[in-house]
Structure formats: C-alpha cells, structure tokens
Structure 1
Amino acid sequence: MLIDPRRWLFREQRFLALFLLGAALVAGFVALAGEMQEGETHAFDIAILKALRVPGDPAHLIGPGWLQTVATDITALGGVTVLTLVSLLAIAFLLLRGRWRQAGFTVLATLGGAVMGHLLKGLFARSRPEAVPHLVEVTSLSFPSGHSLNSAIVYLTLAVMIARSFTDRTSRVFTVAVAVLLVLAIGCTRVLLGVHYPTDVLGGWTLGAAWALLVGVVADVLQKQHRIEEPSNGQGEAKAPPHDSSA
C-alpha cells in the first residue's frame, strides 16, 4: 500500500513538535526546581501571596466575601478523593465503550503519574508557605503542588485518552479544553488559599502537562500499532486491535 508523503510528513512534523514541547516543559520544571532550591524564587512567591490578602489583615482574601468559599470548593476537585472518583468514572466510560486496552493503559498512566508526584515531593521536601495564614488544612510537603500536579496528570491524561475515543476534531478539542481550564482553576486556588507558593503550582502544571503529553504520544503510537483501540467508527463502537492469529 502506497503511503501519502504529505500525510507522512505531517505526522513526522507533529511528532517532532510534541517532542519539543514535552522537552521544553520538562526543562522548565528542572529550571524552576533549581531556582526554587537556590532561593531565587522566594521574593516572587511571597510577594504574590501577600498581594492576594487584605493589607494589614492577611487572614482574609482581597475581593468579594464569597471568593474563599468558591476557591475552597474548586480546590477540592484536585483532592485525592475527587481525582480517584473521576478516574474510576472515566475508566468505566472507556470500559462501557468496549475499549478494554485503552482503559488498562489509562489506569497505568494515572497511577504512574501519581507515584511520580509522591516521589518528587519527598525529593524536594519544601515546607509549606508561612507568609500568610492557610485557609484550608494541609499536612504534606509543598513542591510541586500535589493538587496542581495530580489534577494535571489525571484530568489532562483522561482528557487525552477520552478524546482519542472520538474521530471528530470538535469533540477532541472541547474535551481537552475543559480539562485545561479545570487544571488552571485548581492550581490558582492553591495560591489563593495560601497553602502553596506560586512556583509550587507552576512546577505541578509543567510536569503534569509533560506527563499527559507523553501519555498522548505513547497512546498515539500504540493505536497506530493496533495495540490499543483506535477512535470509534462514528457508531459508538471501538475499532478493536486486530486478532493475532499466530498466538
């Protein structure tokens, strides 16, 4: 079968662009972590935290009275309980669509990302900010932000995997866009509530996005090799990997 050279070139250029983007995200995280450990980001972090509080009364956020309630509700979307529930529902969705291998790959991707985040927190061992009072209870270490990292890993990874269930561009773009907005909102609330430095959140975002990007590239390769299900045929049925008759 002849291969369309233009299509092949587009795929190669797309893969290169994704690779460069992923490398840039990882490099950004490494650079940020280095600056953080050297104390270069401390003044910036403290300035942002204090700018979000009422002058002379750091126990209260600037802005309307309902802002703290909204921030508390949104930040819960990045907690372990909600992320676990969302992951289980998304995996159930894939299973109901008959996408067994894709569901299994999603489990490995989300669990792998969570383990990575846990190990990095222990590696950097950064204490929580004390410049302003915490508006929600926290007990773990600070860098990278677990809510920012884990929400990026879970929501972006699930969005990438679920988007791969559709053939139309609109559904794919909408699915990923919703996940991106959700991740950004969760990260911002961690700074608003005073439980993370801004650089904690930036670190979580960059690393989480890099992980989700890696998952998307690997899934793309596996689909092309027919090792996981391809996008649906428009009738809600997954294109299953071909059966290996030599097995």
Structure 2
Amino acid sequence: MRNLSLALALLVFILATLEFLANVHAVDRILLFGLPDPFGAIEGEGRIASLAWSFTALGSPEIVASFAAAMLAYAVLARHFSAAIFLIVGIAGGAVAGYVAKAAFAWLRPHHLPGSYSMLHTSFPSGHALLAALLFGSIAVFAIRATPYRLPKICALGAAIGLTVLVGLSRIYLRTHWPSDVIAGWAFAYLWLSLATAVSFGALSSASTAVFRSRSNAVAEGDDPPLRH
C-alpha cells in the first residue's frame, strides 16, 4: 500500500510538471471550477478573502520555520535524536530541495507574472503548499508515532491533511498559483517526507537495534560491553 501511494505521488508530480511545462493550463482551468486565472493576488477585504490570507500564512516560511524550530528544540531536549534528524531532513531539507526545484523550473519557464524572476516568487511548485505539507506532515508523523491507538492517529492525519489542503486552496483562491503548482507542492512534500521517515527512523532504528543486540550478546558471553568515548 505504501509503495502504491509513493508511486501515485510520483505520477501526480510528473503530470503536474508536464502541465506546467506545456504552459497551456487546460487541466488547471478545469480544476479552478470557474475561478479566474492566477494573474495576481486579489486585494479584496471580504470575509472569505480574509480567511484565505489567514490560511495561506500557515504555509509562510516564517511560520513554518518558527514551528519547526520549536519542535526541533523539544526533540533535542527530550533526547529524541531520531526525531530531531527527521525534522532537519524532512522540513529543512525538504524546503531547500523545494526551492531548488522552484529555481530549476523558473529557468525552464519563467513565472506567469511578468518581471517575477526571483526564486522565492517562482510559480512551480507552490512554496506555501510545499512548506505547509512538510510542517503538518511532520507533526502528523510525530503524533502517529507517539500513540499506539488508531483513533488519535486518524485524527492527527486528518488534521494534517485538512490544514495542508486549506493552505493550498487558499493559494488558488487568492490567484497566486495554478492548481498544478499546489498539487505538485503536495506531491513533492509527500515524497520527501517518506524519504525522511525512512532515513531518520528506519535506518537509525535498525542501527540502534543492531548495536543493542551486539552489546547484549557481549554481556551474555561474559565480555565487557564497549565503553562510550
């Protein structure tokens, strides 16, 4: 099931990339469901626009960095070093990789807004959608690994997906991104977090288990366990 979801995420990212490179946006306009093309952020002060700006702020670099720093500090102080590595690889590494991708795609095809060639303002993939997915996905991973019960896991995953979707939809509603930009950000984040989870928890857990078993065998055979230096 996990391999299928990874393959599906990769396929979605590839299809979104092709939509971006084709620069036709036929599928994008279907997914807009009647909303105008994203040729500039709306400046309205209505209730919906205000909510959209509030949700979109959850994916801003400042908010994501603040939450990530707080989570990293907790992981280090609690000596959850595998979790700390996961945060560094997952959120920080994913953000860097995402913005490298933005720069690469900006070189292939400039942003649809005239004169906007800065890496931070390129269109594909959506940085806010990517960062929100990395942040809320990481929180969900923490919550899921912290409890053996199914219901809290479902609630954590549902909340992470819901907030991530709201951030992405806000980017579309505010006319700052095409749907394919947002979908690509989500897919990229899922693939990256899957890699970070495997590297941080899978590899480190296996290594820790191997060290524990070797020390246990040494004690059982009457040898002194190796000292830490």
2:66 to 46, 69, 85: 85
Per-residue deviation, 1:22: 0.8
Cα distance in structure 1, aligned partners of 2:26 and 2:181? 14
| CA pair 246-23 structure 1, distance change in 2 beyond 3 A | farther
**Could you tell me how far apart the structure 1 residues matched to 2:22 and 2:189 are?**
23
- CA separation in 1, counterparts of 2:204 and 2:147? 13
**Aligned partners of 1:88 and 1:74: how far apart in 2?**
20
1:76: how far off?
A: 0.5
Secondary structure, in 3 states, of the residue corresponding to 2:79?
Answer: coil
Whole-angstrom distance in 1 between the partners of 2:146 and 2:77: 12
Question: What residue is the counterpart of 1:21 in the other structure?
Answer: 5
Indicate the residue corresponding to 1:52 in structure 2.
35
Q: 1:36 aligns with which of 20, 23, 26?
A: 20
- Measured after TM superposition, the shift of residue 74 of structure 1 is 0.8
Post-superposition shift, 1:205? 1.1
Pairs aligned (count): 206
Helix, strand or coil for the counterpart of 1:51? coil
Q: Distance in 2 between matches of 1:142 and 1:120?
A: 11
Q: For the residues of structure 1 that align with 2:151 and 2:62, how far apart are their CA atoms?
A: 30
- 1:11-42 CA distance string (max 9 Å, x none): xxxxxx212211221122112202321234x2
8 Å Cα contact 2:132/2:164 also seen in 1: yes
* Cα shift at 1:68: 0.5
Aligned CA RMSD, in angstroms, stands at 3.1
Change (3 A) 1:169 1:140: same
Deviation track 1:203-244 (CA, whole Å, cap 9, x = no partner) reads 11111122223333444523652639xxxxxxxxxxxx8495
SS of corresponding position for 1:227: helix
Give the counterpart letter for 1:189 in structure 2: S
Q: Which stretch has the larger CA shift, 215-224 or 97-106? A: 215-224
Deviation at 1:92, TM superposition (A): 2.9
SS at match of 1:164: helix
The structure whose RCO (Cα within 8 Å, separation 6+) is larger is 2
Q: Which runs of 5+ in 1 are unaligned?
A: 1-16, 132-137, 229-240
Aligned positions of 1:161-240 closer than 5 A: 161-222=142-203, 224-225=205-206, 227=208
TM-score for the superposition, normalised by structure 2: 0.76
Per the alignment, residue 156 of structure 1 pairs with 137
- Structure 2 CA distance for aligned equivalents of residues 106 and 130 of structure 1: 33
Runs (4+) off by over 6 Å:
none
Deviation at 1:155, TM superposition (A): 1.7
Partner of 2:176, secondary structure, is: coil
Q: Which has the higher helix share?
A: 2
Matching residue within 41, 50, 67 for 1:69: 50
Report the secondary structure of 2:208's partner residue.
Answer: coil
1:173 and 1:218 map into 2 onto residues whose CA distance is 24
Percent pairwise identity: 26
CA deviation digits over 1:76-126, x for unaligned, max 9? 000000000111122233335431332233222211111110111011115
Distance in 1, Cα, partners of 2:32 & 2:97 = 27
Asked whether the 8 Å contact 1:129–1:195 carries over to 2, the reply is no
